[in-house]
Amino acid sequence: MRDPNRRYSLRKQIPARTATLYARWCRVDFVVMGPRWREARARMRRNARGICYWCKHVFSDGEMMALACFEHEGNHVLCQTCAEELLSHPEPKIAEENPDA
């Protein structure tokens, strides 16, 4: 039974963490989301769902998607906002592990 003079809420503590991914490269204007993209991805083994890898934004038809190659993660699509944020935080260049080889 509800009491009209009380408030009800659900509360859950989520552990705080910071995730950092490093990208090797990012192409901001990669492809426009649409039926053709969905059709091409449907045939792939790792079928993308048409969402931003970082912020989980769902792309609508006609929206431009970006593509980035993350270390240890591979290529993933990003929304324009996340791609711009990624490119605005350059990291110092990492020296190659074996430059003489």
Question: Is position 93 within any domain?
Answer: no
Tally of domains in the chain: 1
Question: Is position 49 within any domain?
Answer: yes
At 101 the pLDDT is 45
At 5 the pLDDT is 60
At 93 the pLDDT is 58
pTM for this predicted structure: 0.69
Question: Is position 83 within any domain?
Answer: yes
Question: Is position 80 within any domain?
Answer: yes
Question: Is position 32 within any domain?
Answer: yes
pLDDT digits (tens), the chain, 101 positions: 445 565 554 556 667 777 788 888 889 899 999 988 888 888 776 656 788 888 889 999 999 999 988 888 888 998 999 888 888 877 765 544 444 54
DSSP the chain: ---TTS----------------EEEEEEEEEE-SHHHHHHHHTSSS---SB-TTT-PBP-TT-EEEEEEETTTEEEEE-HHHHHHHHTSPPPPPPPS-TT-
At 39 the pLDDT is 85
Question: Is position 38 within any domain?
Answer: yes
* Enclosing domain of residue 41: 23-87
